[in-house]
Amino acid sequence: MTVGKWNFTIDRGGTFTDIVALSPDGRISTRKLLSENPGRYDGAVPAGIREVGVKFGAGELFLPELVMAAETMRAGVAVLEPHVPKGSDTRVTHKVVLATVQDDIHEIGKNLVATMLTASGFDVIDMGVNQPSEAILKKAREEKAEIIGVSALMTTSMPRMKELITVAQTQGVRSKEKVVVGGAPVTEQYAKEIGSDGTAGDASGAVRLAQKLVGAKP
Ligand code: B12
């Protein structure tokens, strides 16, 4: 699909070949990025979809196009996933419960985070989207997870992150589990304000943060 200066395509020549974002300064090939820098495929993939988001926000694109771009992205990520090297460090067996907060159905970024964490040896339990705080905390306790990761993409759903931390505090489980937050609107300052254990702007950052929190070697 072409959006303004961007040509965000999944090339399929019988089988999948690549996801290519055509930027004004040249093609960004996800496959090339992946082969040059294994485990870091979140660099090129989100570029096209971010452009779509900016244009949607500016009223230059409409919901059908947003949905189309998201489906393209989802299909591409699913095809790429098997090519991401799996975790080689068998010593790392830390559990992470991951979810998108209640009232929010955005999942592309969360899925990237899940893939990268898994590739780095974490045991990820992905609860999906639109998950109530209580359900996330219950799951984390059942699974004895060390980290809870929550994603929110809208200013209207961000307060659910604070809610989760407040509920965890009331239930007395906050001291056991680390809570990390993320999603495009989440800033370092917001993460601090709500009392989380940190945030990261991309999936690789999320891995580094998780490794730091559990004391695992990068
Ligand atoms: C794709 C998309 C959709 C798709 C989602 C498909 C899917 N299956 O996920 C669809 C079409 C369904 C959709 C729907 C809607 N959307 Co929408 N959407 C987007 C868009 C364009 C891209 C989001 C995305 O996937 N980005 C790419 C990923 C890779 O980036 P990311 O999510 O930020 O994730 C990275 C980091 O943030 C981080 N990260 C993410 N999660 C986590 C978690 C942890 C723990 C950590 C550490 C890190 C981390 O790592 C990720 C990987 O690099 C954004 C625009 C934007 N700028 O974000 C709008 C956007 C979020 N949507 C918006 C809106 C308004 C909506 C709708 C309400 C539209 C409508 N009128 O129906 C609905 C929401 C319905 C709901 N209840 O949730 C607005 C939100 C405005 C606001 N209030 O804040 C945005 C900002 C668009 C805009 N500019 O207006 N959307």
Instruction: Please list the ranges in the chain whose pLDDT falls under 50.
Output: 5, 12-16, 23-24, 44, 88-92
pLDDT tens-digit series, residues 26-73: 555 555 655 665 555 555 455 566 666 667 778 887 777 767 766 766
Q: Tell me which of 40, 41, 60, 66 to substitute to probe ligand 1's pocket, judged by most ligand atoms within 8 Å of the beta carbon.
A: 66
Record the pTM.
0.81
184 alpha carbon to ligand 1 midpoint, in Å? 7
**What's the confidence (pLDDT) of residue 31?**
58
The beta strands (E) that lie in 122-184 are given as 123-126, 147-151, 178-182
Q: Given CA atoms 47, 53, 56, 61 in this order, what sign does their dihedral have?
A: positive
The CB of 56 under 6 Å from ligand 1? The reply is yes
Give Cα separations from 64 to 10, 56, 60, 68, 76 (angstroms): 18, 10, 12, 6, 18
**Residues above pLDDT 90, as percent of the chain:** 42
**What's the confidence (pLDDT) of residue 14?**
39
For the residues of 57-114, what is the DSSP string, one character each? HTTSS-HHHHHHHHHHHHHHHHHHGGGSPPP--TT---EEEEEEBTT----HHHHHHH
